[in-house]
Structure 1
Amino acid sequence: MRRKWAGIGLSLAVAIGLAGCGGNDNNSGSSNSGATNGQSAENTTTPPAESNKPPVQLKYWTDDRHDQEYIKDMINKFNETNEDNIQVELTVMSENYTQSVDIAFSSKQAPDVLRLKSGNTAGFVKKGYLEPIDGFLTDDIKAEFGKLILDDVNRFDGKVYSLANTGNTLRLVYNKDIFAKAGIANPPASLQEMVDDAKKITEVGKADGIYGFALNFKSPKSAFDRSIREILSLSGYQGLGFDLKTGQFDFAPYSQVIEYFKTMYEDGSILPGAESLDIDPLRAQFAAGKIGMYLSFSTEPGVYQDQFPTDIDWAGALAPTLDGQIKGTSEIVSAGTWLGISAQSANKEAAWTFMKYMYGDEILKTYHEKGFGLAVVPSIVEQAGNPEINGMEGFLVGEHDSLWPVSPSVTPEGANYGDAFFKYMLAGGDLAAITQDLNARYNAALSQAVEKGEVAVTPNPAFDPANPQG
């Protein structure tokens, strides 16, 4: 199995620049160890005793929660052992990571190092938040990461801002014990089966507070980007509403999925209170055996090992499709970036020293093996074993996983697609009109972005969702 994964990973690494994550909040939830809701982790280390100089203080901000214990340990080790008298303070942010970063930069209180994802890197570059790292890249680093330094992923206008680490697969996460209790033999292959299974689970488990389905609907776009995105890509459609064949936004396929979600809401199969549910409270409920299934990223096994340890029998499986037929491939997301240096940092060389440490082979290898993300750097893929973590076997890259071309990221006037469709899911309305309005507003924003030179769009009438790289 390890040899198979290594081969797949190496091929992914060559093409990773075409992967995209379209503004999703792929690893968010509330922190409960060391740094919580934007509060700094308590720094328990002291500078090396041999230094007489005041330590260089760096701040590192991230919105990742699933890996925080490991990252905190690595930072503590760096603080204790680095020879440059550098001390790094970790801050794990809440759902509003991008907004918090905006506020920090506008008030000249930005961190020195930031967690970057394919959904926020381009925006941060345009806003002038990031420092190019080209001057720090040695020949060895270029040799190791060079094939993953690609335009519109981590290189913009010829300047490099980040290096790759891992990518994430998307899966249906389900409680096998609950499925068995409800008489369900296998995870659903179609959306209708998912609706039926959620209803069966709720009927059997409601007296014990068990419901068939849930998502982190406190942030509708985040919820849909970890669920509908996967359903659509396997069904043969780009998962963020963009039609790669026409080069235009078309939310008609999206609206089909929403109808099934609305049915689950109306028949009471969704966990009560999900409208205000954040991802970590959802995970806590799943770990307690109160949720039959939800959809999320390959970060979940690490969550249930470290953040919310659980004894339930659970697994990951391919998401259902619109009609039960697999006509596309599951998109590997959030690949190509990891850490970046703030343009406002007064200690950029120290920030690079820390960043270079974090990109060390042993840290990246262990990051993969602990299941925090699936390695895409060729040298790491070659030496890393499969993650030895419960549940990860359902998330490993397989024949139905691939990289998709990047879809343009635009900001329309009015509500985004997550908010618009979630409002329909709760309150109803004219779905066709809502879909047409989204198409009009998103395509207007796309046209403006193209005119300004912010994005480039090339329709591909021959695009094949079963072979998205061509």
Structure 2
Amino acid sequence: MKKKNKSFVFAMCCMLLAGSLAACSSPSSEEQGSDSETNSKTKITYWTGDRHDSEFVKEVIDTFNQTNEDNIEVELVIKGDDFDQALDMSFQTSDPPDVIRVKENTIQTFYKKGFIAPIDEFLTDDIKEKFPLMEDLNSFDGQRYSLPNYGTTMRLIYNKELFAKAGIEQPPTTLDELVETAKKITEVGKESGAYGFAQNFKNPSSAFGRSARVIAEVSGYGGFGYDFKTARYDFTGFKLIIEAFKKMKDDGSMLPGVESLDIDPLRAQFAEGKIGMYLSFSAEAGVYQSQFPAKIDWAAAPVPSIDGQFNGASGFLGGQWLAISSESEHKEAAWKFLTYMYDESILQQYQEKGFGISMVPSVSAVAAKPEVNGIDGFLPNKYDGVWPVYPTVAVQGTKSDDAFFKYMLSGGDLDAIINDLNTRYNAALDSAIASGEVKAEPMADFNPLDLAGQYAE
């Protein structure tokens, strides 16, 4: 009997242990429901290179993730100045994002590479009427690929305190004044670690795209070296601009280490009072409001021209914002996310928080002027205008921005450098025209001055 009892107890223990283990390993009905809900979510990724608006975008995406009724979850991925290269790699490895931030200088390239999908099938008549169609900026070959949100003006951003310390009353209006102003600021600020000028030369394309480009544009030259009147590349107009930059580098007026300076570290240094001037977009107003709260008194002014004469227009950039990846397996979910992001209430907040100046008429009509320090200097003026889109070409050898930056650092024969750029870029243009990749025809009556003032308030 004792033996039977022992066997019975042992069997019962085994059953209890087995039941206990099963309970530990099997999810409750509540957990099963939770797992099922997680597995049914449609997850999409949004890649952007923008950082000036990152906190705001994070907030609105969090709200979308929590409130949308389609069980869509968006992952925000913020890339740095290597955005284009990272996107190229993502398509090569078959792991691209679902939604892509496109800009006026990238959307044409992404379109040609087949990275973005047309959105016409999703567009209602109301959307078509509300959002301006801009050929070669958000529309290609009769199809739309993006919708506008905001435009950005380009300005000289300067430290008013360092200007006053150096006895400078007005921002520079010519290249000579730019060089001289940077030198004076450096002379009075060097002991405290402040220098006259800086630009984010870790990425020469980004740096010159914020600076040399717009100086050329207000002086009457295409900001990317393309002459719309002749339909040829001609970088001659950049000669005096690049020479001025080299002078500031050579005389020690530039912040030490600009060769490895990225845009956010530059902003951080400016906010601390270590940089007298730099050139950039209107997004900077929002940056110094939230991302890098400025500890100095600063302002924005029209960019200097080569000789003080304004013969063109300061590029008012925009016309696009979000696009859907051609490789996305969740295009409908991506469109629902775009519909949310393009809601008027969000676009209105975007302007009112100082992240950009709306290019959507229904939004600009009701949006209040941003209550952001420094925004006044960025509002559209009589010199701002939208330039035509230049043809992008696959040039062989060193690109113009890299060639100009190398000259800034090492010197050389700038005339020869410019002649070489003209030769190689026009050879690439001729090849692209011959293959049908681009169209480039002379605009005999093109006058850059006619572009200015279109968006002035």
* TM-score of the superposed pair, with normalisation by structure 2: 0.89
What SS does structure 2 have at the residue aligned with 1:252? helix
Within the candidate set 266, 269, 281, 1:297 is matched to 281
Name the structure 1 match of 2:435.
452
What letter corresponds to residue 468 of structure 1 in structure 2?
L
- Give the CA deviation at 1:138: 1.2
The residue aligned with 1:349 is: 332
1:417 Cα deviation from its structure 2 partner: 0.6
Aligned to 1:131: 117
Q: Corresponding residue for 1:400? A: 383
The SS at the match of 2:365 is helix
Do the aligned residues in 2 keep the contact of 1:234 with 1:330 (CA within 8 Å)?
A: yes
CA–CA distance in structure 2, aligned partners of residues 254 and 280 of structure 1: 26
- Three-state SS of the structure 2 residue aligned to 1:59 is strand
SS at match of 1:322: coil
Equivalent in the alignment of 1:374: 357
- CA deviations over 1:140-180 (Å, ceiling 9, x no partner): 111211xx223322222222211111111100000000000
Paired position in structure 2 for 1:189: 173
Render the CA deviation track for 1:113-148: whole Å, top value 9, x for unaligned: 111112111222222221211111112111211xx2
Separation in 2, partners of 1:238, 1:307: 32
Q: Is the 8 A contact 2:273 2:295 kept in 1?
A: no
Q: Does the CA contact (< 8 Å) of 1:48 and 1:80 recur in 2?
A: no
2:223 is the counterpart of 1:239 = yes
CA offsets 1:366-400 (integer angstroms, 9 cap, x no match): 10111111101111111111111111100000111
Any gaps of 5 or more consecutive residues in structure 2?
Answer: 1-32
Instruction: Give the 5 Å matches for 1:225-264.
Output: 225-264=209-248
1:49 to partner: Cα distance: 12
Alignment partner, residue 71 of structure 2: 85
Q: Deviations over 1:246-302 (max 9, x none)?
A: 111111111111111111111000000001100010001000000000000000011
Which structure has the bigger radius of gyration?
A: 2
| 1:166-205 alignment, distance < 5 Å | 166-205=150-189
> 1:301-380 maps to which residues of 2 (within 5 A)?
301-333=285-317, 335-380=318-363
Q: 1:221 aligns with which of 174, 186, 205?
A: 205
Gaps of 5+ in 1: 1-46
Name the counterpart of 1:95.
Answer: 81
User: Which residue of 2 is the match for residue 37 of structure 1?
Assistant: none
Q: How far does the alpha carbon of each residue in 1:334-359 deviate from its partner, in whole angstroms, 9 at most, with x for none?
A: x1111111122111111111111000
Structure 2 residue aligned with 1:276, among 233, 254, 260?
260
Distance in 2, matches of 1:48 and 1:433, equals 67
Letter in 2 for 1:391: G
Structure scoring higher RCO (CA < 8 A, sep ≥ 6) equals: 1
Contact 2:81 2:206 in 1 (8 A): no
Letter of the structure 2 residue corresponding to residue 166 of structure 1: Y
Q: Residue 58 of structure 1 aligns to a residue in which SS?
A: strand
Residue aligning to 1:11: none
> How large is the Cα RMSD of the aligned pairs?
1.7
Q: Is structure 2 residue 420 aligned with structure 1 residue 434?
A: no
Q: Which moved more, 1:338-347 or 1:192-201?
A: 338-347
Deviation at 1:188, TM superposition (A): 0.4
Match of 2:448, SS state, is coil
What SS does structure 2 have at the residue aligned with 1:383? coil
- Higher relative helix content: 2
Q: What is the Cα deviation at residue 230 of structure 1?
A: 1.2
Deviation at residue 54 of structure 1 after TM alignment: 2.0
Query: How many angstroms does 1:235 deviate by?
Result: 1.2
Equivalent AA in structure 2 for residue 316 of structure 1 = A
**Equivalent AA in structure 2 for residue 399 of structure 1:** K
Residue of 394, 399, 402 corresponding to 1:416: 399
Write the letter of the residue equivalent to 1:372: F
Aligned residues: 421
